[in-house]
Amino acid sequence: MNEKKEFGDFQTPDSLAIRAIALIDKLFENPDYVVEPTSGIGGFLGAAANYWNRTASYEGYEINNHYVEASRLRLAGLNVEVHHRDFFTEDWVSNLSKSDKPRVLVIGNPPWVTNSDLGQLGSSNLPKKTNFQGLRGLDARTGKANFDIAEWMLIRLIEALPSTGAIAMLCKTMTARKVLKHFWKTEGGRKDSHLFKIDAKAEFDVSVDACLFFTTGKKISDRAATVHAALDFESNQTRIGFIDGDLVSDIDSYEAYRHLDGGSSIYTWRSGIKHDASKVMEFTKKNGRLINGYGNEADIEDDYVFPLLKSSDLGNGRIAIRKSVLVTQRHTGDNTSEIKRKAPKTWAYLMEHADTLDARKSSIYQNRPRFCVFGIGSYSFSPWKVCISGLYKRISFVLVAPTDGRPVMVDDTCYSIPCCCKEEAELVYELLSSDVATAFLNSLIFTDSKRPITVDVLRRLSIVELARVLGRIDNLQKICQSYSEDDSGVDTQMSLLMEQELKYRTMRRS
């Protein structure tokens, strides 16, 4: 087993540890007890002991016995004890609660690895399995249930921290934010919460957004933290926080556009199609023939084949169709066996690749029709769409028209608003592409996330309020009033819903 991977092992460079300790001293002077729960080869403990000398006592805990011996040798002569212990079996409340040493400082660099990574390695270096994030339903079964081990560790340490103590840890910026969100949701804020960004590529040769995360054990009502662009107090600063039950990435900017928050009653953002078998389900065209991801021709009927835009297309503003996708259903619960009768060549193709499709690992395919897909519904077949990729940091909406008379699909890393006509799509695109909408969404987006733009963020923007602010409310109302269930299948209540939303927002503003 790769030990570096198993333990998420990124040892702290001495120069970084020294700079971090000097900064921590400005936030938390004269600790009398310094603890490093995952001390490695002792870089942080050595920097701390050399900085504060014998004004404090120092203890390290480390699971790797080789590191324990190396750090004991390295730190000989300093007031440091290093214990060969497993973080996950320690009683941290007891370890951090010494009445004669109330100013406890927890420092370090916990593992940069996820529970999923360790599970795939077969590692036992894991916390006891619990749904500590409080996820429900599908979220608890899919990617949202994956977490950094450091996230679990930091939550446990902060819970054990006395009100007179503090913690300062190197970690992914996303991890620090998740930890803060956990406490902001459950207990309130923590005094003096800061994230100081570091250059992880230069320091650890890894391409992630990372920081020195500092907070104290003192509970306060304010749910906010200051983000510093570098490991100092002089760099640019923004404030992140937890407002009305949701995270915001820039409190000051959010407050300026807060009137746009609250979602829309007439438009729903939809995720794109998910199939988890791109080599089978996606095609390029060559000399009029469909070529799958294996380089083989797919001789199938056109009935279930639709034009496809990928996240990379939308993220780079490309609307020229380069790919097609096999769509086996119009709704997730549809009986796919009907394909055998309606499109026998398509069914034969699916059966040829049945082993691949049946082996899709996600639990969402269990107890579903064979060869099913997700992110599919009547909305997928709307002729016009306004779309955006979730994987790019820059907010860039794309107006997508039908191709050869067929609706265009987008992949599952994209989101779209379905529209019934060109006029509607152009208006929605105009509203979403406005500077006002961009500023509001940027106040919510965390660009270091794996998927910066999420459906949860997009759904917070009220398109009705946006239209009012931009003086386009009459145009939107006209489109809503033109809907007819007979010729479009769209909810005839849209105009009424819009009127109700406008009344509600007028009352809220007053």
Regarding whether 432 and 333 lie in a shared domain, the answer is yes
pLDDT tens digit sequence for 263-304: 777 899 999 999 999 999 999 999 999 999 999 999 999 999
Question: What's the pLDDT score for residue 100?
Answer: 84
Total domain count, the chain: 2
Does pLDDT of 486 surpass 70? no
Please tell me the total number of residues recorded for the chain in this structure.
510
State the pLDDT confidence band at 262, using cuts at 50, 70 and 90: confident
- Helical spans, DSSP H, in 402-447: 422-432, 435-442
Question: What's the pLDDT score for residue 326?
Answer: 98
What is the amino acid identity at position 414? C
Domain C-terminal end among 136, 167, 186: 186
Residue 148 belongs to domain with CATH number: 3.40.50.150
b/e map of 111-124 (b: 16 or more CB within 10 Å)? bbbbbebbeeeebe
Does pLDDT of 116 surpass 70? no
What is the amino acid identity at position 331? H
Question: What's the pLDDT score for residue 482?
Answer: 79
Is the entire prediction scored with pTM above 0.85?
A: no
pLDDT tens digit sequence for 180-234: 999 999 999 999 999 999 999 999 999 899 999 999 999 999 999 999 999 999 9
Regarding whether 365 and 505 lie in a shared domain, the answer is yes
Domain C-terminal end among 156, 186, 216: 186
Q: Which domain holds residue 348?
A: 270-509
Q: Is residue 227 part of a domain?
A: no
pLDDT tens digit sequence for 300-357: 999 999 999 999 999 999 899 999 999 999 998 899 999 999 999 999 999 999 999 9
Q: Is residue 246 part of a domain?
A: no
Regarding whether 420 and 288 lie in a shared domain, the answer is yes
pLDDT tens digit sequence for 425-468: 999 999 999 999 999 999 999 999 889 999 999 999 999 999 99
Domain C-terminal end among 164, 186, 208: 186
Regarding whether 177 and 59 lie in a shared domain, the answer is yes
Q: Is residue 201 part of a domain?
A: no
Q: Is residue 476 part of a domain?
A: yes
pLDDT above 70 coverage of the chain, percent: 86
- CA 248 from centre of chain: 13
Q: Is residue 248 part of a domain?
A: no
Regarding whether 151 and 27 lie in a shared domain, the answer is yes
Regarding whether 277 and 130 lie in a shared domain, the answer is no
pLDDT tens digit sequence for 128-180: 555 444 545 444 444 454 568 999 999 999 999 999 999 999 999 999 999 99
Regarding whether 285 and 140 lie in a shared domain, the answer is no
Q: Is residue 222 part of a domain?
A: no
Question: What's the pLDDT score for residue 145?
Answer: 47
Q: Is residue 303 part of a domain?
A: yes
Provide the edge-to-edge strand list for the sheet that holds 246-248.
Answer: 80-84, 57-62, 33-36, 104-108, 166-172, 210-216, 194-198, 224-228, 237-243, 246-248
